[in-house]
C-alpha cells in the first residue's frame, strides 16, 4: 500500500467517525483523487482534513465539509444537482460520482478553465460548467432536486431557492466573510422553504457579478 493510500484510508475512517455514514458519500471521497485538485505546493497535505489554497485567492474546501454538505443533499443516482462556486472542481467531482448530472457555475474564468480540463482528464462527462454569476443560478436547467453553494452568501439567495424542485434541498453557508457563517439546509415545501441550521463554517464570500481578468486577488 502506498503512503497516499494509507493517508486516504485514515481520512475516510475519520470522516466515518464524525458522522459521515452514507456509503455513497464515503465511496465518492475515496474515488476522487483530491491530490490532483490541490496546488502542487500542498500535495503532501492532499489527504489531510483541511482546506487548502487554490489559484485566484480561493480555497478547496476541507474534506469533512465536502462530505458533510454532500450527505446533507441526500443525492441518488437520479438527482440533478446545481453547484455554485466550481473553484478547483473537487466538490463537483464528488457530486458527479453520486448524482446523475452536475451543473456548476463559477465566476472566475481561469478557475473554470482549469476545472473543466480536470473533468475532461478524469472523464467526468456528467458535469456541465458555466462561466457566470452564481447568484442567478442556471434557470435554463431548473428545477434542481439539489443545490449546493460553496461560497458564503451574506443574505439568502432567493433566486436559487426558486430553482429548487418540490422537496428539493439547498445547502448553503449564510453569513458575511470574516463573521460567523452558518451552514443551512433549505427544503422546498410548495412555495415555502423549511430552514434547518447545520454547522458553523467559514467560506470565502459569494460575490456579485462575474470575475474580470485583472481583478485584485
Ligand atoms: N467548490 C470548490 C470550492 C469553492 S471556493 C472546490 O471544491 O474547490 C468558492 C468559489 O466560489 C470560488 O472559486 C469563487 O470564485 C466562487 N464564487 C464566488 N462568488 C461567486 C458567484 N457569484 N458566482 C459563481 N462563483 C462564485
Tell whether ligand 1 has an atom less than 6 A from the beta carbon of residue 63. no
Burial class, 184, CB count within 10 angstroms (exposed 0-12 / middle 13-18 / buried 19+)? buried
- Residue ranges of domains in the chain, CATH in brackets: 3-201 (3.40.50.150)
**36-86 pLDDT, tens per residue?**
999 999 999 999 999 999 888 889 999 999 999 999 999 999 999 999 999
**94-137 pLDDT, tens per residue?**
999 999 999 999 999 999 999 999 999 999 999 999 999 999 99
Report the nearest-CA residue for atom 2 of ligand 1: 87
Q: How far apart are CA 200 and CA 185, in angstroms?
A: 12
2 is known as an active-site residue: no
Of 177, 184, 185, residue with least CA distance to 203: 177
Tell whether ligand 1 has an atom less than 6 A from the beta carbon of residue 90. yes
Report the nearest-CA residue for atom 23 of ligand 1: 134
Tell whether ligand 1 has an atom less than 6 A from the beta carbon of residue 150. yes
Of 61, 28, 37, residue with least CA distance to 171: 61
Question: Measured from the CA of 88, which atom of ligand 1 is nearest?
Answer: 8
Of 49, 78, 187, residue with least CA distance to 172: 187
Indicate the pTM of the whole model: 0.96
Q: How far apart are CA 89 and CA 113, in angstroms?
A: 10
Which three cell numbers mark 205? 464570500
DSSP letters of 43-66? GGGTTSSS-EE-GGG-EEPPHHHH
Tell whether ligand 1 has an atom less than 6 A from the beta carbon of residue 107. yes
Amino acid at each position: 500500500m502506498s503512503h497516499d493510500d494509507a493517508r486516504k484510508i485514515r481520512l475516510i475512517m475519520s470522516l466515518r467517525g464524525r458522522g459521515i455514514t452514507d456509503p455513497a458519500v464515503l465511496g465518492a471521497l475515496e474515488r476522487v483523487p483530491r491530490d490532483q485538485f490541490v496546488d502542487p505546493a500542498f500535495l503532501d497535505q492532499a489527504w489531510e482534513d483541511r482546506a487548502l489554497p487554490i489559484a485566484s485567492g480561493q480555497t478547496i474546501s476541507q474534506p469533512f465539509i465536502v462530505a458533510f454538505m454532500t450527505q446533507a443533499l441526500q443525492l441518488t443516482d437520479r438527482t440533478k444537482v446545481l453547484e455554485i462556486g466550481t473553484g478547483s472542481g473537487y466538490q463537483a467531482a464528488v457530486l458527479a460520482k453520486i448524482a446523475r448530472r452536475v451543473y456548476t457555475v463559477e465566476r472566475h474564468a481561469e478557475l473554470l478553465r482549469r476545472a473543466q480540463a480536470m473533468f475532461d482528464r478524469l472523464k467526468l462527462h456528467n458535469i456541465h460548467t458555466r462561466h457566470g454569476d452564481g447568484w442567478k443560478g442556471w434557470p435554463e436547467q431548473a428545477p434542481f432536486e439539489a443545490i449546493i453553494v460553496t461560497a458564503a452568501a451574506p443574505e439568502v439567495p432567493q433566486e436559487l431557492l426558486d430553482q429548487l424542485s418540490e422537496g428539493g434541498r439547498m445547502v448553503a453557508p449564510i453569513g458575511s466573510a470574516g463573521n460567523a457563517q452558518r451552514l443551512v439546509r433549505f427544503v422546498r415545501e410548495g412555495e415555502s422553504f423549511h430552514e434547518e441550521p447545520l454547522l458553523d463554517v467559514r467560506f470565502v464570500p459569494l460575490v456579485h457579478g462575474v470575475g474580470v481578468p485583472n481583478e485584485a486577488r
